[in-house]
């Protein structure tokens, strides 16, 4: 019988040195991706940015803005070739823990109605739609609305 070691999966803080890897993922999975400037500004502003690495390879990341008792998930992405393997759930779960540990009671996010995979993930985690931002996202034929969702973090263990 041969022993197979599971790959090492780590959630680590993201810094400026990770931006090229993030951009490579971002540009493949989003029709209107964040720019280098968006990532640099987020990190410079002190937003909480985390990457999921599997044996050193960046497979996903998230960027959170945390203020007082609320957090806003600004970006969450998983590499195209790693989607459907549970990494989105791992990154989202980590983001929720980080937000809760920082004192946030609610986690907010926006999502495209056309992003079925993301919607399914958020609903599976108990996010509830509370509104719509009309024309929020850029789209190939103009704009697309954003569904505003929130999650009560009170039950998330810190």
Tokens of 45: 């502003």
> Any catalytic annotation for residue 122?
yes
DSSP 112: -
31 three-state secondary structure: coil
Question: Taking CA 50 as the corner, what is the angle to CA 49 and CA 53, rounded to the nearest 5 degrees?
Answer: 150
Distance CA 77, CA 60 (A): 5
> Any catalytic annotation for residue 80?
no
Strands 106-111 and 70-78: parallel
Cβ(49)–Cβ(43) below 8 Å? yes
Closest CA to 110 of 66, 158, 83, 144: 144
Of 61, 122, 137, 144, the catalytic one is 122
Of 110, 137, 144, 155, the catalytic one is 110
Which residue numbers are catalytic? 110, 122
């Amino acid at each position: 019988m041969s022993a197979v070691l599971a790959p090492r999966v780590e959630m680590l803080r993201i810094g400026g040195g990770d931006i090229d890897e993030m951009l490579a993922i971002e540009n493949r999975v989003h029709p209107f991706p964040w720019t280098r400037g968006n990532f640099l500004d987020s990190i410079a502003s002190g937003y909480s940015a985390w990457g999921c690495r599997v044996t050193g390879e960046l497979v996903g990341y998230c960027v959170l803005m945390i203020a007082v008792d609320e957090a806003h998930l600004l970006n969450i992405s998983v590499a195209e070739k790693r989607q459907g393997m549970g990494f989105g759930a791992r990154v989202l779960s980590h983001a929720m823990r980080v937000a809760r540990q920082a004192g946030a009671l609610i986690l907010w996010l926006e999502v495209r109605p056309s992003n079925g995979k993301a919607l399914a993930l958020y609903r599976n985690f108990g996010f509830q739609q509370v509104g719509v931002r009309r024309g929020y996202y850029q789209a190939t034929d103009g704009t697309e609305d954003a569904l505003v969702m929130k999650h009560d973090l009170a039950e998330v263990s810190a």
